[in-house]
Structure 1
């Protein structure tokens, strides 16, 4: 047994939430060497490193797995976690053939949501354990809150997660985080008459609240002041000198792929194609911040995007999907994917992609070459 004393420098789990347009993404972009997973597509006008917008829950999990394997950054930003929760709900409904999370009955759907999101946070914990900070941004919502030992109720800001009282995803995310930072506009009410009966709002400075308050959720474990300006320099010292943060700049990855002449790319892909014939492998070692042109398989653009993204990422052809589907007796061999039922595509192929791809790998291993 070892006993240690003093503070231990480690990567941080941070939640930044606030109203839309407050600057959550901008603040997150100032963290050390960030790479964004933009679940809602709101960073298009920002100069930052990002992975492709995930089109499904399975694709989002594969992107995080790629970050774990390749360590392309010092900070992974999920922007936003409430939009990721939407994909999680959609995934649960599709895999269980439900139209809504309410269709499970008696709160069972929200229990499944809590379990799935809990597994998602465990995966992010693995990223943190590798020395990579994880930042989750989220929108804020105002809820009526009533304490059990007090009379009356009042409004307070909370994470825009778990819209039903039976959902605990908001509490789960707050418990997981080392820091919960609430960003908001600081508004002053100024009297406009001598009796103080009429007021107008002034100010509007952007601030970050770091400690719990009856009107909002916030916390930190670093002794930060209760209120600080919305400026990364006030929290930068927390993220310095984190051990194990040996990475390459994400922007260098993008520039390397974008600056290669098209002829060189074609030669490189041809070499990779020859190697894949000798020993089929999953193409997870290649950064999926590239476009579909980095894949050797040409896919029908009419294939649903959520499935097509997974096929592109793992270099899976339409024929391989057809083989697996026909072996399981779902559709005859040769049936185009575009003729598959959309519920089957989303609920089975996308929803159970790890199992589908496992069958494809087994098929590849059975080939005589």
Structure 2
């Protein structure tokens, strides 16, 4: 006898995993904004003209993971989480892998290993987002499209097809993960104008359409019986997207930081830590949105309520720099490779008072 419950029948009102991709400027973000009670993680800064709720733009892969964990811990904050866009999120993942392993690019791992590592990390990212599906939160990716030459091994000749603008292993992984993949494009047609031998072919049209099933020239799929081609309008899929009770529409206020004046000022204000009173206070030399190594570290410190003293202490215990060396004096490659790149280990070590590196 099986010691497990067996269920049958359709599962209705299950949160959906959706990928919307197409050429730039076609309106992917606007389309995604129509999902029920959406909350954006804008990785590329493309939603500035939209009246939507958004989390801070992630400056590192670790910060993006932390934001997803925050949504998971507060499931009433939204009914739909929008990752805008998948390819810019992938860039954060690639940067993180390269910084941790101190290579200049994904090809630097050699023999295709970089793409394997990337696929594994991107897969963990999708698994993390699947936890939100279990909480009733739709997860929506927008992504750019790129045209690539495609050649079938059993056929002669090649042709162009539209694909997700992701690395060669991540694109298929994301398509498999999604419940529906929607390809948006401009519908054009060729007409001949003129008379006799003077006829010239001209492209006309420009209507925005959405493709919902696979075609030799693009990837798409759905399990809801949508028409193969429809207007690029949210109303086409609205009935298939569940809207759980929204509850709160704002993230709860974060807990107050540990009492450390320097940590409270880590992002935008001068901080004086382990310095004589007569010395000029430390100042963050970069704006909070510039994506520099120090900004990435400050974002993670702020998110996890880690103080400057804790960072400087753990770095000193390992013997990298004296305890009084301000964070601003750490080399960028050290911050990227050791502190940001291995943040989960560093943070755990701070909590456990152990040194992981």
Range into which the TM-score falls when normalised by the shorter chain = 0.7 to 0.9
**Retained in 2: the 8 A contact 1:208–1:227?**
yes
Q: Shift of the alpha carbon at 1:130?
A: 1.1
Aligned twin of 1:70: 74
**Retained in 2: the 8 A contact 1:40–1:79?**
yes
SS at match of 1:135: strand
Q: In 2, distance between residues paired with 1:248 and 1:138?
A: 29
SS at match of 1:55: coil
Once the two structures are superposed, residues 32-82 of structure 1 have per-residue CA deviations (whole angstroms, 9 ceiling, x without a partner) of: 101000111111121100000000000000000101001210000000010
TM-score for the superposition, normalised by structure 2? 0.86
**Retained in 2: the 8 A contact 1:210–1:220?**
yes
Q: In 2, distance between residues paired with 1:91 and 1:34?
A: 27
Unmatched tracts of structure 2, length 5 or more? 261-265, 274-281, 287-293
Aligned twin of 1:151: 156
Pick the aligned partner of 1:352 from 318, 342, 348: 342
Name the CA shift for 1:326/1:4 in 2 (closer, same or farther; >3 Å).
same
Q: In 2, distance between residues paired with 1:318 and 1:7?
A: 49
Q: In 1, distance between residues paired with 2:127 and 2:331?
A: 33
Q: Shift of the alpha carbon at 1:145?
A: 0.3
Aligned twin of 2:330: 340
Q: In 1, distance between residues paired with 2:331 and 2:159?
A: 48
Q: In 2, distance between residues paired with 1:297 and 1:15?
A: 47
- Counterparts of 1:1-369 in structure 2, within 5 Å, are 1-71=5-75, 72-162=77-167, 167-195=168-196, 197-240=199-242, 245-250=244-249, 252-253=250-251, 272=256, 300-302=283-285, 304-363=294-353
Aligned twin of 2:276: none
**Retained in 2: the 8 A contact 1:190–1:200?**
yes
Q: In 1, distance between residues paired with 2:316 and 2:127?
A: 35
Aligned length: 327
Once the two structures are superposed, residues 319-354 of structure 1 have per-residue CA deviations (whole angstroms, 9 ceiling, x without a partner) of: 111011111222111111111121110111111111
Q: In 1, distance between residues paired with 2:11 and 2:348?
A: 43
**Retained in 1: the 8 A contact 2:191–2:202?**
yes
Aligned twin of 2:263: none
Q: Shift of the alpha carbon at 1:363?
A: 4.3
Aligned twin of 2:277: none
**Retained in 2: the 8 A contact 1:75–1:133?**
yes
Once the two structures are superposed, residues 92-142 of structure 1 have per-residue CA deviations (whole angstroms, 9 ceiling, x without a partner) of: 000001111111111011110111101111101111111100001100000
Unmatched tracts of structure 1, length 5 or more? 258-267, 281-290, 365-369
TM-score for the superposition, normalised by structure 1? 0.83
Q: In 1, distance between residues paired with 2:246 and 2:7?
A: 30
SS at match of 1:310: helix
**Retained in 1: the 8 A contact 2:14–2:242?**
no
**Retained in 1: the 8 A contact 2:42–2:54?**
yes
Larger deviation: 194-203 or 40-49? Answer: 194-203
Q: In 1, distance between residues paired with 2:151 and 2:109?
A: 28
**Retained in 2: the 8 A contact 1:33–1:249?**
no
Q: Shift of the alpha carbon at 1:195?
A: 5.0
